[in-house]
Amino acid sequence: MPSLHSDDAEIFYEVRGSGPPVVLLHPFPCHHGFWHPIAAALDSRYRLILPDLRGHGNSEVGEGPAFMAKHANDVVRVLDTEGVGKAAFIGCSIGGYILFEFWRRFRARVSSLALCDTRPQADAAEARANRLKSAASVLEQETEPLLETMIPKLMGRTTLAARPDLVDRARAMMRKMSAEDISLVLRGMAERSDSIADLKTINVPTLIVIGEEDVLSTAADGELMRQNIADTQLKIIPKAGHYAPWEQPEAVGKVLRQFLESVVK
């Protein structure tokens, strides 16, 4: 995997395929391999750029909380290193949070957006407190207890019941993160800005994808985005939770492929 130095962290990423550039930002606490089941449906037509977000996979977390601004700066440096001026972007969960920040800072680099299982709202007071509590406790208890409490929220009930192989492979990705990585990324997410007011400024084609069984980013969150982004469509994926692209790669891959074919020239 190529890498680059972005301020205080080494950032790794993978490039697959050729054609118009598409950047895929994975969810917390996985890494770029999250997208591999879908990449096979896209890399024959597109140049896929799959970063390990700061603190995830092989990428370093740097000093202090991994704020959304740091993630956005990392992504733009990957684009610059790869000679990409403008790209289509796909983000899942924290990947979507980063894309809201990226839009605020670097919207001229965005040709289209696909927002998967994410939400524009900042954490409410209780959710923020819980995230900060987890950021502290993971340093004391190590990663395994936290990961085990997260998995039932990250994947849908259908996957949990019928696809233990997908759960195990996701768990293996999560175990790449250290306790410090998880803590600093959680602290960064807890401090993210509210993006609801920014939705009406999004003036590029946008796709919203929500797993029908997602308990973290719900269909109501998807509808909120659909109502506030002018050129957008909302797709609900059956039998999928917060990791819909991982749980149902064929269905999500088809939706993403159709969207990209309609907007990427």
CATH of residue 194:
3.40.50.1820
pLDDT 10s digits, 126-182: 999 999 999 999 999 989 999 999 999 999 999 999 999 999 999 999 999 999 999
Residue span of the structural domain in which 184 resides: 3-263
55 has pLDDT over 90: yes
Mean pLDDT along residues 218-238:
97
pLDDT at position 172, please? 96
264 has pLDDT over 90: no
Look up residue 155 and give its two tokens.
């994947």
Mean pLDDT along residues 229-248:
97
86 has pLDDT over 80: yes
Full-model pTM: 0.97
Name the average pLDDT for the chain.
97
DSSP-assigned letters across all residues of the chain: --EEEETTEEEEEEEES-SSEEEEEPPTT--GGGGHHHHTTTTTTSEEEEE--TTSTTS---SS---HHHHHHHHHHHHHHTT-SSEEEEEETHHHHHHHHHHHHHGGGEEEEEEES--SSPPPHHHHHHHHHHHHHHHHH-HHHHHHHHHHHHS-HHHHHH-HHHHHHHHHHHTTS-HHHHHHHHHHHHTPPP-HHHHTT--S-EEEEEETT-SSS-HHHHHHHHHHSSSEEEEEETT--TTHHHHSHHHHHHHHHHHHHHH--
Which amino acid belongs to residue 23?
A: V
In whole angstroms, what is the distance from residue 122 CA to residue 202 CA?
18
pLDDT 10s digits, 195-215: 999 999 999 999 999 999 999
How sure is the predictor about 265, in pLDDT bands with cuts at 50, 70 and 90? confident
User: Looking at the 3D structure of the chain, how many domains does it have?
Assistant: 1
pLDDT 10s digits, 23-54: 999 999 999 999 999 998 899 999 999 999 99
